[in-house]
Amino acid sequence: MENEVLALIASFLAMVMVVISYFVKIKKLYLFFQLMCVIFLIVSYFFSVEFFAMVGLSIGFCRTLTFYCYESKGKEAPMACSFIFSAATIASYFIVNYGILKTANPVDILCLLPLVMYAFIFRIRNLKLVRFMMPVPTTIAILYNVVSHAPVFAALSYAFELAANILSILKYHVFHQEKKSETVEENINENS
């Protein structure tokens, strides 16, 4: 059921969800929008008939949903969850790409590395720390898409994600801090 138009629309909606995720102030909402992103990406890969990506994203969906459930309860997910989801991602890659499709390529490490990193980063409850850590796997994903000659839209969507991530860091953790210190300084000057 290949349909490029529906795949592109779903990819665009996924990109919108991931961009929104960086501009929320609560980790639970961040994970919610990441979940919506993964759902739209699964739909996109369904319509572009890329089943390995769907398998990997299904694991990503379970990972993000697990961390969302823990976050909803105000708890930190056990470290074992990160290791389990990382192992499942790597195992699915080897089963599908070595065993079934026989399309494994050394450059695929650039695809696996961000997925493993996400399993550990999404576990962190501090949204500020998450924002500061996310540029690393996103940059690696961009590099993978460029090196593997993925469709331009795939690399662009990661580039938009990286830009949104950097803008959210600037908005919430750089300029916001300056604004706070200016307000404190103005209050001190007024009271003098």
pLDDT bin (cut points 50, 70, 90) of residue 189 is very low
Q: What is the pLDDT of residue 180?
A: 56
Question: Range with the lowest mean pLDDT among 20-29, 87-96, 119-128, 175-184?
Answer: 175-184
pLDDT bin (cut points 50, 70, 90) of residue 182 is low
- pTM, whole model, 2 decimals? 0.84
Q: What is the pLDDT of residue 178?
A: 57
Read off the amino acid at residue 101: L
On average, the pLDDT of the chain sits at: 87
Q: Provide mean pLDDT across the span 21-44.
A: 94
Sorted by sequence, the CB contacts under 8 Å of residue 88 that are 6+ apart come out as: 59
DSSP string, 44-83: HHHHTT-HHHHHHHHHHHHHHHHHHHHHHTT-PPPHHHHH
- Has residue 121 got a pLDDT over 70? yes
Q: What is the pLDDT of residue 60?
A: 92
The rounded percent of the chain whose pLDDT value lies above 70 is 90
- Has residue 116 got a pLDDT over 50? yes
Q: What is the pLDDT of residue 106?
A: 87
pLDDT bin (cut points 50, 70, 90) of residue 50 is confident
- Has residue 117 got a pLDDT over 80? yes
Q: Provide mean pLDDT across the span 54-70.
A: 92
Q: How far is CA 108 from CA 61, 95, 113, 125, 128, in A?
A: 20, 14, 9, 29, 29
pLDDT bin (cut points 50, 70, 90) of residue 104 is confident
